[in-house]
A and B are shown apart, each in its own frame.
Chain A
Amino acid sequence: MTAKLVKTEAVVEGRTEVRWTLVEEDDTPEFEDGAATRPIGEPTPRITARARTTGSARFTVDIALPGLLEAAVLRSPHANARVTSLDLDAARAVPGVRAVIGPGEGPENGDSPLSDTPGFAGAAIAAVAADSADAAEAALAALAPEYEVLGFVTGIDEAFEKHDFLVDPTEHERGDPDAALAAADITLEASYIAPAQLHNSLEPHAAVADWRDEGLVIWSSTQAIYDARATVAEAFGLDPERVRVICEFMGGGFGSKFGVGPQGILAAELSRRTRRPVRLVNSRREENITAGFRTPAKMDYTIGASADGRLQAVEASAVMGMGSGGWAFPVLEPVKSIYACPNVRLMVAPVRQNLGPSVAFRAPGVMEGTFGFEQALDELAEKVGIDPLDLRRLNHSEADPESGKPYSSKHLLECYDRAAELAGWAERDALRGDGRIRRGMGAASQYWWGGGGPPAYAEVRVGKAARPAITVGLQDLGTGTMTACAVIASERLGIPVDAITVYAGDTSRIGHGPFSGGSMTLASIAPAVRSAAHHVRTEILGLAAEMFEIAASDLTLEDGEIRSVDGTLRQPITEVTGKLGNAWISGSGSRGPNPEGMNVNTFGCQIAQVAVDTGTGRITVERIVAVHDIGRVVNPMGARSQVMGGILQGIGFTLMEERVVDPTTGTVVNAGLEDYKVPTIADLPEVVCEFVGDPDPHLKLGVKGLGEPPVIPTPGAIGNAVAHALGVRLREAPYTPRRVLEALGA
């Protein structure tokens, strides 16, 4: 197979990355219209189900090696401080303690995760490794830190007034928004506030490092084994090939687990010093004060429109509370990219606070930005006197409004129509009622990327028993990527999914696979798996052609059999593979570049129906209709689960989730799951979920991503539904009983 280096572009959560990648020739034929694709497109249970339901699935926190040491981290109780005293020797003297490292210590080439000027409550100061968790905790106590407490800033407004920006503020303009706003028939100003949502993956951030003479092995709960490898290798000055990163199963990440994290760096350093395996696992509190959050944002919109509701100009600004880290998540992207609007000005101010770092959280920026902008649009619809969905249809854009480039596919209008039909949108006013319980229905659009891209490599092997093994260099954070890989290979090989094994989560097995994020994973790996499986298929058919003396082009693989097109031959595939002995037929595949000159995006519409108890302020989401355009659906069962998960996290964001920072001490007061509420099974609404749109004609296999899309429109749709129910608009999420009752005058 010939391989070549090509230059390709991929959009990662709104940031365009240009990469050189090694790409193999891919001669896999696309499906013809109407051709059978099974099991692609059929609901398939997870291939990992047995492991996950018997407790045999090994997560990073479960890794126990002989001689394992437990690590723990001393963290600042103050929002800003200078450590004036720290007794490292006392900690070293605690029985069972094997290593203690203090501020500034760490890997040779990397920044130390430990500091004697902790800039937030939770910042790491020292780390210990000991024979037991109890001994490690005793060592932390023995450190007896003393602090000079310094002033701090945690409020967004205060940080903005100080012009203390973590990332330089940006301004983006197209057209002439000032003139267009001045000339608009209708203008509207609207403000929304999004809370800091905490990821709370149930598996905490964790690493187990084992420094051996031959190199470093590190188990990491990571969404990106290859990024993790690169970080560790660079920090410790090791060749990447001498670092092996393993992530067999991971318990959720939602954006918070890219790379190896400070857990990995600290565990590796402690293992390097002790030459013993070291495990470091965050407590729930550490998760919630150090491991990231969705950036809270204050968003202001000024919208100018024609009398009939056509957008003329939007000026939008956002102040984002970044804490002590993160990148400027694209919070105003919805303004720029969903609708046809010739004049736009966007201003983003990412401010620094004495809080932990912000970290990408499922559709970072875009979800909270959609929450604000889609509600502002409903306010416009009301002012214009037009149905909110009609306003969206009126401002539909056939091409990317920013660049003018066409989309590889876009079925957003179909999403509106189908969602409206499924939700009973036309009769929505009849829902409302005038008693204590008010009902309402609201809609929001969804825009996201999700085209994926190279590099992504896959290998498929089939041996004697015709039980294929797929190897991919990715990790499955729980979305079902491994199952989807099996489904794709199954179609080419004609071998049932339950006979297929997928090996993933290990950098020692195969080259780079995509990270699990950006709704890019499956769109990236799917064509590579298909290509690899196709190569194996071709080889099996070639051998069968010789064996049965029928032209390979007249043979096919189905249901574990080699069949001739004319129906005269039906033999088990093992008739061919059985001759392999201990050899196997293998094929490799790689992801080719994305189409040039066009944008690859996903779209959708959700409609929420809510009931608001005006006596208690409790909002119940009764029903969500979710219609998304994600290209080809590989596994409808997994896809529906992704949608359910997005919707539930969206409900959490809108109704109950909010990090609360004490203004007096600058510490988080609800860093546990008692006071930081996430939805329970009792909060589950009825969900009607459909996918529209054919496979994307410009992408191999036509697959776009689905991780982010379902969370994006949920908050805006609920917000619009609540406003429809109450006739009052709530400006700040989450919409807790307190905020609802206060909005109603309590």
Chain B
Amino acid sequence: MRTFGYVRPADAGEASARLRDGARAMGGGTDLIPQLDRGILPSDEVVDLRTLGLSGIEHSNGGVRIGATTPVAEVERDPGIGERFAGLRQAAAAVGSPQLREMGTVGGNLCQQVRCWYFRHPDLQCWLRGGETCYAQIGDHRKHGLEPGDCISVAPSDLSAALLALDARVETTARQMPLADLYRKATDDRRSTLTLEPGEFLTAVEVPRAPDASAYVIAGERAAWSFALVGVAAARFGDDVRMAAVGVSNLPRQIDPADPTRDLPGLDMTRWKRRLLETLASDAGAAVGR
């Protein structure tokens, strides 16, 4: 049921302390508020991180640093990003709807929960939510991942694919690390796909250097406003093409441009996504001149 407190923390220390006490971090609230309404990972308090001055885009030394609470729409509109990180701009433009891009933050996008329709079901408590069963595996998983596992839902963040291909790093209140290290598979003991510790939250994401070319391509269920069935990002640094995909695995995943579906056999209802992944990898490769 929806009753919770709302806190604008004075500083990162207060925010961390409240998060350690069980509050949930809020950026734009577009993922969090519906979760609280449906009783998904409920909490008595939300902590608004937007008041901590973590918003902004800085270009320097060929790279770019984006504050965690920067609205996704600002990434989409930033001329420097459009010029030098086309793939990141395209990924930002692929996020949700225009309103969700205005509200949603970069950090929130990277840390959003899976969109699995069982995870989000108000009357079911699936394995990822701490329950016993991955309903998707025994149920309807037409939009799920291409590899078996305890949870077969797919990583949804368009930005994560683009940033992974760009070799981005993230900063948290506690450390710096490659973006890839922000994610891990959920385990029986720890039902989360994020490596963040209690009280820890993202403060910024940094792309150290601009690629020679980058792109993000998405296939959705309609022409606009659709989470990616599959999304593929590519970035070319000289002859080196790096690719990452969402919509295929539990985590945003680096893929081999020469063999994008390697280790992604597909499940009963998702084998069709292999073809989609191959097509999009080919399109993304072509877009960066591979």
Contacts and interface: CB of A to CB of B under 8 A. Distances in A.
Does a CB–CB distance below 8 Å link A and B in the complex?
A: yes
Interface of A: 77, 121, 134, 137-138, 141, 285, 615-618, 620, 655-656, 660-665, 667, 669-670, 674-675, 677, 679-683, 736-738, 741-742, 744, 746
Given A285-B122, A674-B227, A656 B221 contact: yes
Contacts of B279: 615-616
Nearest to A675: B117
Given A121-B123, A741-B272, A682 B221 contact: no
A222 B121 CA distance: 29
Given A134-B3, A682-B222, A667 B121 contact: yes
B225 to A, nearest CB: 5
Given A669-B117, A669-B118, A679 B222 contact: yes
Interface of chain B, main secondary structure = loop
A137 B122 CA distance: 14
Q: Is the interface of A mostly helix, strand, loop or mixed?
A: loop
Contacts of A617: 219, 272, 275-276
A662 B1 CA distance: 24
Interface of B: 1-3, 115, 117-118, 121-124, 135, 138-140, 142, 219, 221-227, 229, 271-276, 279-280, 282-283
10 contacts: A121-B123, A615-B279, A617-B272, A656-B222, A665-B139, A669-B118, A680-B222, A737-B229, A741-B272, A746-B275
B275 A741 contact: yes
Contacts of A737: 219, 221, 229, 272, 276
Nearest to B266: A746
A669 B140 contact: yes
Contacts of B280: 616
A680 B220 CA distance: 12
B117 A660 contact: yes
Contact of A741 (B121, B221, B226, B276): B276
A29 to B, nearest CB: 50
A285 B37 CA distance: 12
A556 B103 CA distance: 60
A655 B225 CA distance: 15
Nearest to B276: A616
Given A137-B2, A679-B222, A738-B142, 11 more contacts: A134-B3, A141-B1, A615-B279, A656-B222, A662-B118, A664-B138, A667-B124, A669-B140, A680-B225, A737-B276, A738-B273
A746 B222 contact: no
Contact of A664 (B115, B135, B282): B135
Pick the 5 closest A-B CB pairs, nearest first: A615-B279, A77-B123, A746-B275, A682-B224, A682-B223
A91 to B, nearest CB: 13
Given A655-B222, A737-B229, A738-B272, A662 B140 contact: yes
Contacts of A744: 275
A675 B118 CA distance: 11
B90 to A, nearest CB: 16
A424 to B, nearest CB: 24
A706 to B, nearest CB: 26
Contact of A674 (B115, B273, B274): B115
B140 A663 contact: yes
B119 to A, nearest CB: 10
Contacts of B225: 680, 682
A42 to B, nearest CB: 34
Interface centre among A663, A675, A738 (most CB of B within 10 A): A738
A584 B113 CA distance: 65
Contacts of B138: 664
Residue of B115, B124, B280 with most chain A CB atoms under a 10 A cut-off:
B124
A679 B222 CA distance: 7
A744 B276 CA distance: 12
B222 A662 contact: no
A370 to B, nearest CB: 23
A658 to B, nearest CB: 10
Contacts of B219: 616-618, 737
A77 B124 CA distance: 8
B264 to A, nearest CB: 13
A617 B222 CA distance: 11
Contact of B222 (A77, A121, A615, A677): A677
A660 B139 CA distance: 10
A683 B223 contact: yes
Given A655-B222, A746-B274, A667 B123 contact: yes
B173 to A, nearest CB: 31
A184 B1 CA distance: 65
Nearest to A285: B122
Contacts of A738: 142, 272-273
B135 A662 contact: yes
A133 B11 CA distance: 34
Contact of A736 (B2, B118, B221, B224): B221
Contacts of B221: 656, 677, 736-737
A680 B139 contact: no
Contacts of A742: 272
A546 to B, nearest CB: 63
B247 to A, nearest CB: 11
A437 to B, nearest CB: 12
A15 to B, nearest CB: 35
A674 B276 CA distance: 21
A675 B136 CA distance: 15
A660 B272 contact: no
B272 A680 contact: no
Nearest to B278: A615
A413 to B, nearest CB: 35
A662 B124 CA distance: 11
Given A137-B2, A665-B135, A667-B124, A620 B223 contact: yes
Contacts of B118: 662, 669
Contacts of A664: 135, 138-139
Q: Which of A618, A661, A681 has the most CB of B within 10 A?
A: A618
B272 A746 contact: yes
A109 to B, nearest CB: 33
A669 B121 contact: yes
Contacts of A677: 221-222, 226
Contacts of A674: 115, 227
A656 B124 CA distance: 25
A731 to B, nearest CB: 16
A102 B115 CA distance: 35
A420 B9 CA distance: 66
Nearest to A667: B123
Nearest to B124: A665
